[in-house]
Structure 1
Amino acid sequence: MTCPNCERLQARIRELEAQVAQTSETSHQPPSQDQVWRKKPKSERQKGVRSSGGQVGHPGTTLKMNPSPNEVVVLPVTGSCTCGQHWNEVEVHDLLARQVQDLPEVQLHVTEYQAEVKVCPRCHQRQQATFPQDVRGQVQYGPRFQAVAVYLNVAQFLPFKRVSDVLETLYGQRPSEGTLALHLNLATERLAGFEVSLKEALLEEPVLHVDETGSKVKGKLAWVHVISSKQLTLYGHEPHRGSTAIQALGVLPRYRGVLMHDAWLSYFQLCAQHALCNAHLLRELRFLYEQLQQGWAGELRTALQGIYHQHKAGTLTQAEHAAFLVRFDALVEAGLETNPAAEPVPKQRGRVKQSPGRNLALRCQKHRDKVLRFLFEDGVPFDNNQAERDLRMVCVKRKISGGFRSAAGGKNFCRIRSYLSTLQKQGLCAYNGLVSIFRNDVLLPQFSFSR
C-alpha cells in the first residue's frame, strides 16, 4: 500500500522541479529572471525553406553617392607624359568621382540678441526693443541642444551624468543635472495636448495591445503600462499594476474594441472584447510537454502553430477550420483528464491550488473564444507581440540607467517616450519632433486612420 505522505512528497518534488525548469520561453516569467547557466531554449519560429541571409535579387543597402555634394575638390593631373607632353596643357577627358561622407565640425552656434535701448530727447522716456519670446534668460540653451539632451535620456536611456558627459565631449558644454531635468519638465508640459489627443485616438482603434512591466521609483516597485496599436503608443507610470492604474490612465475603461492581453485578471474586468495572447500559451504548452511529458500539450501546441500559419497564408479551408475546433476541444479535455482536480486539504480555507496543467486547460476551456478570436475576426492578431515590443525598450532603459528618482520623473519619461514611439511608428523623425517641442510648435503625428 502506498503511503499518502510519500505521494504528497513526490508531488511536491515534481512541483519544485517544474518551478526550477521554468524560463521566459515556457512561462510568463520575464527574461531578466532566467538563470544565466541555462541552455537557451529553442525558438518558437518554424524553419522555412529559404536559406538564411540575403536572398537572390535583394537590392542591398550599400552606401550610395550623394548627387549634391557640399564640397567638390578637383584633383589635377600634374607632371608630364612619357613622350614629354605637359599634362597642364591637355584638356580634361573625363572625371572619376569618389565621395567621403563625414560630419561637419561639431561646435555650438551662438546667437547673441542685442536689444536696442533708446531715450527720447524730448521727454526722456526710455524704450527698449523686445527680445524674441523664446529668449527668456541672459544665457540659455537653444532648441536643438535641448532636443539632443532629451533624446539621449529618453530615446537612448542614458542617465543624466552620461548625458552631460556626451554633451561636453561633443559640444564643449556640460549642462547640470538640474538643467536636464528642466528640459524634461518643459517637454512634458508642452506634450500635454498631444497626450490628450493620443488617448482619444486610441479609443478609435479596432484592436489595442496592453501589457505592463516593473519599474523602480526611489528603489520601490512601480509599473510602466503600455496601451498601443501599430501606429500609436501610450505609456503610463503608476505605483500600481491592477485596476487602479488602468483607471488612472483613462483609456481602457472607455474602450469597446478588441483588447489583446496575457490574461491578467484586471483586464477581464473591462467591458472591451477580449483576445488572449497565444505566444504566452505556446510557451506554457511547451513547458508542460517538455518538462512534465504531457502529450496533449505538445499536440495542442503543434495544432495551434499549424492553424495559425494556414490562417496567415490564407490557405485555411472551412473543413480544416471546423476540424481544428473539434481537435482543440478534445485536446483540452485530454488536458483536464491528465490533470485531475486536486482534493481539498483538511482544515485549509479558500480555493484548492490546482496544477499548472489543469489551470491552463481550464483557461483554454473557459476562454476558448478569446484564445481563438484570431480565427473568427479579421484584424485580430495571434499574439500580443506589439505590446511586448513596445515595452522591450522600457526594459532596456531599466538595465542601462535603472529606475527613477521620483514619480514625476517616471511620468515625464512615459509621456515623452509615448511621443517618440508614435512618431517612429509613423515614419517621422524623433529628433525633429523634439526640436519642435522646444520651439513651442509641436510636430503632431496623425491621430485618425482610414480603416
Structure 2
Amino acid sequence: MGVKEGFSYGARLSSIVGWLGYGGNLTWRKQEHFIEYVFGIPISQGSLAKMHKWFQESLEPLTQQWLKYIQQPGIRCVDETSYCIDGIKYWVWVATSNEVCVLMLAPTRSSAEVEKLLGADFKGILTSDCYSAYFRQSAMAKQKCLAHLERELESLKTSRFQANREFAADVQQVLATARIHYRHYHARNLTLEDLGSKRTEVENSLQKIFKATPKKGWPYDAQRLINRLKRHWEEWFTFLTYPEVKPDNNDAERALRPIVIHRKVSGGVRSDWGAELVTQMFSFLETMRLQGQNSIVQLCKLLSLAGRSPPGLEM
C-alpha cells in the first residue's frame, strides 16, 4: 500500500518527510539526516526531490477542489505576505473558511490576484485589513479588521497631542462596546434584532466623536483615521449584523504565520514548482488543522491514492 511505481520509498515514510519539511521546517539536509539517524534508512537528495514532486502531484487535485470551494458563498478571511522565488519577490495570498484554507502564489500584490483567489463574482462575506487591493473585490458584505484599527489607536495614546490621545481612547471605547455586544449575542443574552439595534447605537457613538472637532481641528493622525473610518463606514460593524462573522482578520494571519516562519528559515525557494509546492503543502497543513485531522496520516492516505482522484470535499 502506498508505493509509487519506480520509487523506493512508500507513502508512510514520505508523509513523515513532508511534515518534517513543512510542519517542522527542516532543510533537505536535515530531513536526510533525521530519516537516516532515526529510522536507519539511507536517503539521498535526489530521492527527496522525487518525494517532493510526488507531494505536488498528489496535492494538486485537492487544492483545486479547495479553491473552488473557497470561491463559493461563505465567510472568507483574506491576507497576503511576500515570498521569494530565486531571489525575486512574489506574494502569497491566503483565503480561509472554517474548514478550508487556500494559499496562492502570485507575482503581484494587486486586486487582480484577489479576484483569481476568490473569483470575479464572489457572493460571500469578505474579512480583510484595509489594503487597497481588497476594495474592488465583489462581496455580499465586507468586514474590516478591528484588531488592525485598535493597534493604531493604541499607538495614538502616546501622541504628544492631547486631541490624538482623547480621540484614540474614545474610539477604543466604542469598539470595546461593539465587542461586548457581540459576546453577549453569542452568550445568548441578545437576540439578532437586539444586536442590529446595538450596531446603530455604536455607529451613532462613533459619529458623535467625529463631530466633536477640537477648536484647532483634528491633528493629522486622528484625521487620517477618521477619513479611513468614513471611507469604509459600512464595513466596520458587519459582525453585528452577521454575527457568524468575526470582527478580526486573525484567521488569515494565523494561516500565514507558518509560511512566514518557513520563509525566514529557508529564505524562499529556487524554482516555480518548489514555490507551488510550498503553497499547496501549507494549504494542506492548515486545512488539516482546521478540520482537526492528523496531517501526517492524511498525507499518507493522499499519497497512497497513487494517482487516483482524491475523495470529494466533505463539509
With normalisation by structure 1, the TM-score equals 0.62
Offset, 1:398? 1.9
Match of residue 278 from structure 2: 413
> Conserved in 1, the CA contact under 8 Å of 2:86 and 2:270?
yes
Match of residue 402 from structure 1: 267
Match of residue 260 from structure 1: 127
Match of residue 47, structure 2, among 179, 193, 196: 179
Moved more, 234-243 or 277-286: 234-243
* Percent of paired sites with the same residue: 25
> Conserved in 2, the CA contact under 8 Å of 1:423 and 1:445?
no
Instruction: Give the match's secondary structure for 1:418.
Output: helix
Offset, 1:246? 2.6
Question: CA offsets per residue over residues 26-47 of structure 1, 9 Å max, x none?
Answer: xxxxxxxxxxxxxxxxxxxxxx
Aligned-partner Cα distance in 2 for 1:291–1:388: 28
Give the residue type in structure 1 aligned to 2:167. W
4+ long deviations beyond 6 Å: 335-338
Q: Give 1:152-231 correspondences, 5 Å limit.
A: 152-231=20-99
Give the residue type in structure 2 aligned to 1:365. K
Offset, 1:335? 6.6
With normalisation by structure 2, the TM-score equals 0.86
Give the residue type in structure 1 aligned to 2:225. L
Instruction: Give the match's secondary structure for 1:178.
Output: helix
Match of residue 252 from structure 2: 387
Give the residue type in structure 1 aligned to 2:128. H
Offset, 1:245? 2.6
1:303 and 2:169 correspond? no
Instruction: Give the match's secondary structure for 1:213.
Output: strand
Aligned-partner Cα distance in 2 for 1:275–1:336: 30
Instruction: Give the match's secondary structure for 2:171.
Output: helix
Aligned-partner Cα distance in 2 for 1:194–1:338: 59
Aligned-partner Cα distance in 1 for 2:114–2:232: 22
Instruction: Give the match's secondary structure for 1:140.
Output: coil
Match of residue 155, structure 2, among 287, 294, 304: 287
Give unpaired runs (5+ residues) of structure 2.
none
> Conserved in 1, the CA contact under 8 Å of 2:181 and 2:198?
no
Aligned-partner Cα distance in 1 for 2:85–2:144: 30
Give the residue type in structure 2 aligned to 1:422. T
Aligned-partner Cα distance in 1 for 2:107–2:100: 23
Aligned-partner Cα distance in 1 for 2:226–2:270: 43
Aligned-partner Cα distance in 1 for 2:312–2:243: 23
Cα distance change on mapping 1:395 and 1:281 into 2, 3 Å: same
Give the residue type in structure 1 aligned to 2:183. K
Instruction: Give the match's secondary structure for 1:191.
Output: helix
> Conserved in 2, the CA contact under 8 Å of 1:224 and 1:236?
yes
Aligned-partner Cα distance in 2 for 1:201–1:133: 28
Cα distance change on mapping 1:281 and 1:190 into 2, 3 Å: same
Instruction: Give the match's secondary structure for 1:377.
Output: coil
Offset, 1:282? 0.5
> Conserved in 2, the CA contact under 8 Å of 1:148 and 1:431?
yes
Offset, 1:433? 1.4
- CA-based RMSD of the aligned residues comes to 2.6
Cα distance change on mapping 1:174 and 1:253 into 2, 3 Å: farther
Q: Give 1:270-419 correspondences, 5 Å limit.
A: 270-272=137-139, 273-292=141-160, 293=162, 294=164, 295-314=166-185, 315=189, 321-334=199-212, 355-419=220-284
Question: CA offsets per residue over residues 250-285 of structure 1, 9 Å max, x none?
Answer: x34231111100011111111113210000010111
Question: CA offsets per residue over residues 415-442 of structure 1, 9 Å max, x none?
Answer: 1221222122112221111112321267
| Equivalent residues, number | 303
Aligned-partner Cα distance in 1 for 2:269–2:217: 44
Aligned-partner Cα distance in 2 for 1:253–1:332: 35
Greater helix share, structure number: 2
Offset, 1:383? 0.7
Instruction: Give the match's secondary structure for 1:382.
Output: coil
Question: CA offsets per residue over residues 226-250 of structure 1, 9 Å max, x none?
Answer: 110121100112221212433444x
> Conserved in 1, the CA contact under 8 Å of 2:111 and 2:137?
no
Offset, 1:395? 1.4
